[in-house]
């Protein structure tokens, strides 16, 4: 096979993996802190893509690529900030109204609620924007390319990869270095003890949802830019794959989620490259099942005992 | 000894001696013979449904045969809900890919009784084969994964539920691909040829299947196995330390749930004379789950009723609502397509149900106690030092 194609696909895998990584972070953070598989998270990602599309097309009136670099940076910054804040607030609202009351309920209850929220989000978007795919403005034209070992690489893929890594590093620093990050870690470790030490549990969990959903929102913007279109059911399979990524990396582990995201990206892209495009999804789920069966703690995770 | 004396002698049923009479004797008798009660209940329901469909307002919507058709299809979902109830309601294992077993049952019959492979096996044995196939896959999936913690299991089953239709869809050469398998044989049982024009035999077979499954679940519920399921549901660690082999017990629940889905699959394929990958998407698993949850996890009658009601709402009520509003030309309501919003309604119903009434519309007593454990314990515990223990999950 032509090596330049493989190199090109390598960058595509990095971009796709970056998207999955951004979504996987939210899964892993929420699971780490309240042990809930936030089933609606994939749909938060999808809503983020729609919010970004709306912001771009309606108030900003952008429909195609932007040539002026300063304008491009300005528009991108605005879209990312607005989408991330909106989705963060949506995440906090979901937590407040759907999950908070069930924090001490049997596990099944919040999980079912999350599925319900997922369906609600999908239907709201379907009602507003209709069931057919919508075009997402390609701000960064995919014709902007540079050559690398004979392969033509689009700037967009590099941008997505760099953005995912930057957000990951910022997140890691926030959780590791700041007071709020410490509150999150202590809440994840032992909620009651954290509360006794003066941590505001409700606020900390809300913050976790805010950050996780904001990252999913960023993922939504990126996905829109990358695929060039968005649809109301985008979140279901993307969410499942991102969750697979989180589990693969070791759920609750932030670098793990990112690593898992990139692995899933590679599996999917190279499956497509070798003529298995139709089987890409099945392959990802097979990976999920195999990982859960043989190494439920994931690649970078620690083995968790059953909590009493 | 008369029935009444027997009822009085039965220590399990407190008998009010001041109200003698036939009714009491009957309820006492049925209380002691639950399986019979289930059979009678299903028979009565089966007899009354077509009668109710003849009542003037309902009769005008669609003719009796259409009603029977809808009831029969509702029966498929009642079966599915009963099977999922074993897994989710009784054993507390969240299975999000239940439609996969439904698919396996359907395709088994599709391959064994259609022109696709030119094999035409009879319906009744195929019912068993389909159920067995589904059970085998249940065990194959369950054996490695049932060790996992509850929510991981949910995701694995979800993954499985996604893979199975993909496999049927993509293996064109063996499964008919996207088009599925059509022209499947309608059953011919004891010389009676079932046809789409003659729904009654389908309806009767459906009633038998539902009754059989309900009796099975009822008897299992009170058995050693059923109590082991509930023990695992309430506290897996405690159950394991009391000598319950949690893996085999959960595996049995999984296999039995799959078996029921397999039965439903064979029946559905023979009724629709078609099996295709789009019949088994996640929305189906989700719908059945919503039926179990809304009906009341763990309660056989509740689940069956929940499934029936939800199916009727989805397939009859919402459609009729559209027509009624259209013909009456109600200003805003006639513009709304209610079927479009059914999953929004499901989602809302599921969230509200979990928040306000997690035990479902027709709860199982024990399940209800579990779900309201927090509240009970807070009331019971008087010493403030123990309060911390309550919060500890």
Q: What is the pLDDT of residues A198-244, one digit of tens each?
A: 888 888 999 999 999 999 999 999 999 888 888 888 888 888 888 88
B103 — pLDDT class (breaks 50, 70, 90): very high
> To the nearest whole angstrom, how far is the Cα of A285 from the nearest Cα of chain B?
5
Q: End-to-end CA distance of chain B, in Å?
A: 52
Query: How far is A152 from chain B, CA to nearest CA, in Å?
Result: 32
Interface contact B156-A288, CB threshold 8 A? yes
Q: What is the pLDDT of residue B104?
A: 92
Please tell me which residue of chain B has the smallest CA distance to A109: B354
Mutation for testing the B interface, residue in A251, A285, A295 having most B CBs under 10 Å:
A285
Tell me which chain B residues have a C-beta less than 8 angstroms from the C-beta of A281. Answer: 162, 166
Share of chain A above pLDDT 70, in %: 95
pLDDT value for A210: 94
Interchain pair B151, A112: CB under 8 A: no
**Is residue B3's pLDDT more than 60?**
no
DSSP bridge pairs for B275: B181
Flag whether pLDDT at B41 surpasses 60: yes
pTM of the model: 0.80
**Is there a contact between B163 and A286 if contact means CB atoms under 8 Å apart?**
yes
Identify the residue with better confidence: B51 or B3. B51
Stretch 154-173 of chain B: residues touching chain A, C-beta under 8 Å? 154-156, 158-160, 162-163, 166-167, 170
Residue B393's pLDDT is 37
B381 Cα to chain A: minimum distance (Å):
17
A259 in Cβ contact with A7 (< 8 Å)? no
Which band of pLDDT confidence, cut at 50, 70 and 90, is reported for residue B392? very low
Q: How confident is the model at residue B1 (pLDDT cuts 50, 70, 90)?
A: very low
pLDDT band at B167; cut points 50, 70, 90: confident
Q: Check CB contact of B392 with chain A, cutoff 8 Å.
A: yes
pLDDT at B200 over 60: yes
* Residue B293 forms contact with A (CB below 8 Å): yes
- Mutation choice for A interface testing from B155, B157, B387 by most A CBs within 10 A: B155
Q: Which of A83-97, A113-127, A188-202, B276-290 has the highest mean pLDDT?
A: A83-97
Above pLDDT 90, what percent of chain B? Answer: 12
Task: Tell me the mean pLDDT in the region B144-164.
Answer: 80
Q: How far apart are CA B89 and CA B98, in angstroms?
A: 13
pLDDT of residue B81: 92
Beta bridge partners of B192: B189
pLDDT (average), residues A148-176 = 85
**Averaged pLDDT, A153-162:** 86
Pick the residue from chain B with its C-alpha nearest to A243: B155
Structure confidence at residue B263 as a pLDDT band (50, 70, 90): very high
DSSP alpha helix (H) spans, chain B: 3-9, 22-32, 34-52, 56-61, 64-84, 99-112, 123-145, 150-170, 172-175, 200-221, 224-234, 236-241, 246-272, 282-295, 300-312, 318-328, 342-356, 365-371, 373-380, 387-391
Chain B partners of A126 at a C-beta cutoff of 8 Å? 340
In B352-391, the residues whose Cβ lies within 8 Å of chain A are 354-355, 358, 370-371, 374, 388, 391
Least CA distance to A285: which residue of chain B?
B159
Of residues A122, A192, A247, nearest to B388 (C-beta): A192
Query: What was the pLDDT predicted at A255?
Result: 86
* pLDDT band, very low/low/confident/very high, at A287 (cuts 50, 70, 90): confident
Per-residue pLDDT averaged across A13-24, rounded?
Answer: 91
Task: Please write the tens of the pLDDT for every residue from B202-237.
Answer: 888 888 899 889 888 888 888 899 899 989 888 888
Asked if A118's CB is within 8 angstroms of B347's CB, the reply is: yes
Q: Among B148, B153, B295, B355, pick the best mutation site for testing chain A contact (most A Cβ within 10 A).
A: B355
User: Which residues on chain A are in Cβ contact (under 8 Å) with B162?
Assistant: 237, 240, 281-282, 285
Q: Tokens 């794959």 belong to which residue?
A: A241
Residue A76 has pLDDT above 80, yes or no: yes
Q: Which residue has the higher pLDDT, B330 or B70?
A: B70
Residue B170 to residue A307, Cβ atoms within 8 A: no
Measure CB to CB from residue B344 to each of A35, A115, A123 and give the nearest one.
A123
| Per-residue pLDDT at B10 exceeds 70 | no
> CA of A78 to nearest chain B CA: how many angstroms apart?
32
Contact between B88 and B289 (Cβ < 8 Å): yes
For helices B34-52 and B200-221, angle between their N-to-C axes, nearest 10 degrees: 150
Q: Average pLDDT for residues A186-205, to the nearest whole number?
A: 87
Q: Closest partner residue to A117 among B156, B286, B347, by Cβ?
A: B347
Contact by Cβ (8 Å): A53, A224: yes
Q: Are B266 and B127 in contact (CB under 8 A)?
A: yes
Residue B272: C-alpha distances to residues A139, A293, B9, B269, B280 (Å): 49, 37, 51, 5, 14
**CB B144 to CB A124 under 8 A?**
no
> pLDDT for B75-96, tens place per residue?
899 999 999 999 988 888 888 8
CB contact under 8 A, B355 and A113: yes
Mean pLDDT value of segment B328-341: 67
Q: Which of A98, A247, A286 sits opposite B351 (nearest CB)?
A: A98
Lowest mean pLDDT among A27-41, B2-16, B114-128: B2-16
Could B154 and A307 be called an inter-chain contact, meaning their C-beta atoms sit closer than 8 Å?
no
Nearest-angstrom CA–CA distance, A211 and A216: 9
Q: B318, B347, B369, B377: which to substitute to probe chain A, counting the most A Cβ within 10 Å? A: B347
């Amino acid at each position: 096979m032509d090596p330049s194609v493989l190199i090109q696909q390598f960058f595509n895998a990095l971009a796709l993996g970056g998207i999955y990584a951004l979504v996987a972070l939210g899964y892993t953070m929420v699971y780490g802190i309240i042990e809930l598989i936030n089933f609606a998270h994939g749909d938060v990602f999808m809503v983020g893509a729609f919010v970004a599309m709306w912001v771009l097309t309606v108030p900003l009136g952008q429909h195609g690529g932007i040539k002026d670099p300063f304008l491009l940076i300005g528009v991108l910054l605005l879209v990312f900030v607005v989408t991330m804040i909106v989705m963060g607030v949506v995440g906090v609202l979901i937590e407040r109204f759907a999950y908070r009351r069930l924090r001490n309920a049997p596990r099944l209850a919040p999980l079912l609620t999350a599925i319900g929220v997922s369906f609600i989000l999908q239907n709201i978007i379907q009602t507003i924007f209709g069931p057919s795919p919508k075009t997402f403005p390609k701000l960064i034209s995919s014709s902007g390319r540079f050559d690398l070992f004979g392969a033509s690489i689009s700037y967009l893929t590099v941008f997505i990869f760099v953005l995912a890594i930057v957000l990951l590093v910022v997140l890691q620093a926030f959780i590791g270095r700041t007071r709020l990050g410490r509150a999150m870690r202590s809440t994840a470790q032992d909620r009651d003890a954290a509360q006794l030490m003066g941590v505001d549990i409700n606020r900390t969990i809300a913050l976790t949802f805010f950050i996780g959903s904001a990252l999913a929102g960023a993922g939504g913007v990126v996905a829109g830019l990358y695929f060039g279109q968005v649809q109301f059911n985008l979140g279901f399979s993307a969410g499942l794959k991102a969750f697979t990524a989180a589990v693969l990396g070791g759920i609750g582990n932030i670098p793990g989620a990112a690593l898992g995201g990139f692995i899933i990206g590679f599996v999917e892209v190279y499956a497509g490259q070798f003529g298995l495009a139709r089987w890409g999804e099945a392959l990802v789920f097979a990976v999920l099942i195999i990982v859960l069966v043989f190494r439920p703690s994931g690649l970078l995770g620690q083995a968790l005992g059953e909590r009493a | 000894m008369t029935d009444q004396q027997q009822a009085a002698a039965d220590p399990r049923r407190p008998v009010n001696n001041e109200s003698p009479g036939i009714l009491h004797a009957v309820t006492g008798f049925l209380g002691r013979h639950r399986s019979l009660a289930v059979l009678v209940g299903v028979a009565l329901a089966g007899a009354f449904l077509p009668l109710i469909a003849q009542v003037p307002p309902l009769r005008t919507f669609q003719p009796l045969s259409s009603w029977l058709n809808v009831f029969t299809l509702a029966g498929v979902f009642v079966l599915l809900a009963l099977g999922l109830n074993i897994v989710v309601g009784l054993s507390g294992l969240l299975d999000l890919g239940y439609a996969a077993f439904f698919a396996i049952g359907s395709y088994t019959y599709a391959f064994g009784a259609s022109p696709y492979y030119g094999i035409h096996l009879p319906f009744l044995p195929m019912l068993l084969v389909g159920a067995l196939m589904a059970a085998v896959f249940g065990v194959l999936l369950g054996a490695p994964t049932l060790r996992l913690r509850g929510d991981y299991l949910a995701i694995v089953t979800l993954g499985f539920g996604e893979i199975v239709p993909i496999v049927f869809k993509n293996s064109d050469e063996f499964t008919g691909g996207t088009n599925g398998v059509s022209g499947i044989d309608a059953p011919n049982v004891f010389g009676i040829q079932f046809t789409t024009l003659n729904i009654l035999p389908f309806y009767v077979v459906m009633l038998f299947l539902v009754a059989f499954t309900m009796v099975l679940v009822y008897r299992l519920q009170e058995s050693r196995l059923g109590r082991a399921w509930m023990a695992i549901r309430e506290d897996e660690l405690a159950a394991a330390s009391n000598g319950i082999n949690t893996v085999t017990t959960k595996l049995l629940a999984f296999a039995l749930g799959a078996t029921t889905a397999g039965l439903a699959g064979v029946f559905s394929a023979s009724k629709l004379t078609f099996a295709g990958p789009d019949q088994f998407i996640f929305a189906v698993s989700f719908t059945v789950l919503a039926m179990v949850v809304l009906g009341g996890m763990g309660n056989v009658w509740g689940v069956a009723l929940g499934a029936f009601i939800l199916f009727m709402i989805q397939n009859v009520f919402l459609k009729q609502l559209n027509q009624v509003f259209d013909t009456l030309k109600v200003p805003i309501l006639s513009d709304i397509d209610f079927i479009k919003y059914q999953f929004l309604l499901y989602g809302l119903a599921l969230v509200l149900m979990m928040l306000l009434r997690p035990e479902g519309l027709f709860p199982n007593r024990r399940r209800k106690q579990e779900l309201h454990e927090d509240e009970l314990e807070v009331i019971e515990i008087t010493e403030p030092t123990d309060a911390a223990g309550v919060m500890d999950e």
